[in-house]
Amino acid sequence: METLELVRLNLLSPMVLAFALGIVATLVHSDLKIPEALYTALSIYLLLAIGLKGGAELSITPLAAFWKPALVTLGLGVVTPLLAYAVLRRLGRFDVADAAAIAAHYGSVSAVTFIACLTFLQAVGIPYEGFMPTLVAILEVPAIVIALLIARQRLGGAETLGEAIREVFSGKSILLLVGGLVIGFFSGKQGLEQVAPLFVEPFKGVLVLFLLEMGMVAAKRLRDLRKAGGFLVAFGLLMPVLQGALGVCLGSWAGLSLGGATVLGTMAASASYIAAPAAVRIALPQANPSYYLTAALGITFPFNLTLGIPLYFALSRLFHGG
C-alpha cells in the first residue's frame, strides 16, 4: 500500500499533471502553444541549474565517495546500448541502422526524467548524493558513441562518426550541463548561494512549464504508434524496467544511498531525446525517426514520468533491505 501511495503522489504532482495537461491540449486540438524561444530558454535554464547544483555538491564530495558510482555509471553507458541493440536485432528484427539509432537513445539519458526523479525524491523526503548531475554527464555520451560505432562497423560511414561525436559534445545539453558543473565546482556552495534566487528557488515552477510543453510534444508522437508496431511499444515499456533494475542494482553495489540508487536506476531507464537525436540525425540519416523518437518520447518518457520513477524507488528499497 505504501508503494501505491507513492505512485499516487507522483501521478498527482504538479509536474506530472502539467505533462498530462499538455497531452490533453494536443488531443483536443487546443491553440495552446509554448513559444519556441521560451521552450529553448526553459531547457537552457534547467540544464544549467542542475549543472550548477551538482558542481557545488561535487566540490565538497570526497573522491573516495565518488569514484565507484562514476565507474559504475560509465559501465552502464557501455552495457545498455549493447543490450538494447541485441534485443532490437534478434527479437525485433530491426535493421542495423534502426537498431543502432534506437540503442543510442536508450543507452543515453534523459535530463528531464532525471530532474523529475530528483523532484519526486524531494517530495517524499528521501535524500540523495549531491554529485548525481555529474553522473548524468558521464552517462550521456558513451552510449551514443558505442551505438554509432556499431553502425559504423556494420554499415561503414567513418567520415560521419567524428562529426556526430562533435555534435554530442558541442550540443547544448552536454555543453550546459558540463559547463554548469565546472562553474558550480569552482564557485562552490558560496557561489551557488549567490544565484540561488534564480537557479534554485524557481526550479520546480520552471519544470512545470517545461513539462507542459513536453506533454504537447509527446502527444504528437503518439500518432506514430501504429507505424512503430507492437514490438517497439513493448520494448519502450519493458526495456526501461530492465535497465532501471540494472542501474539500481549496480548503484546499490557501488555504495549509493536509497535515493542515489533510485536516481541511477532512473537514469539507466530513461531514453535521450535531445543529444541522441542530434547525433543520430548526422551519423545515421537512413534510420527512421518515427522509430527512435516515438519510442523515446512517446512511450518511455511518459511511462518513466508516471509509473517508472516510483517503481525504481521500490526496487531500490528492496536492494537496501526495505
CB contact at 8 A, 147 and 164 = no
Predicted structure pTM score: 0.86
Determine the Cα–Cα distance for residues 71 and 266; give it in Å rounded to an integer.
17
Which pLDDT score is estimated for 1? 47
Determine the Cα–Cα distance for residues 184 and 192; give it in Å rounded to an integer.
7
Q: Which residue has the higher pLDDT, 240 or 279?
A: 240
Tell me, which fold does domain 3-27+34-317 have in CATH? Na+/H+ antiporter like fold (1.20.1530)
Coil, strand or helix at 256: coil
Question: Helices (H), strands (E): how many in the chain?
Answer: 16, 0
The model's pLDDT over 28-41, given as tens digits with 9 standing for 90+, comes to 999 999 998 998 89
Give the model's confidence band at 92: pLDDT under 50 very low, under 70 low, under 90 confident, else very high. very high
Nearest-10 crossing angle of helices 63-90, 258-269: 30
**Half-sphere exposure in the Cβ direction for 302 (13 Å, CA):** 25
Q: Among 150, 131, 104, which residue's Cα sits nearest to residue 274?
A: 104
Q: Is the pLDDT of residue 116 over 80?
A: yes
Q: Among 212, 218, 45, 74, which residue's Cα sits nearest to residue 137?
A: 74
- Ramachandran area for residue 265 (φ above 0: left; ψ -120 to 50: alpha; else beta): alpha
Quick one: average pLDDT of 167-185? 83
Give the model's confidence band at 80: pLDDT under 50 very low, under 70 low, under 90 confident, else very high. very high
Question: In this structure, what C-alpha cell is assigned to residue 73?
Answer: 555509471
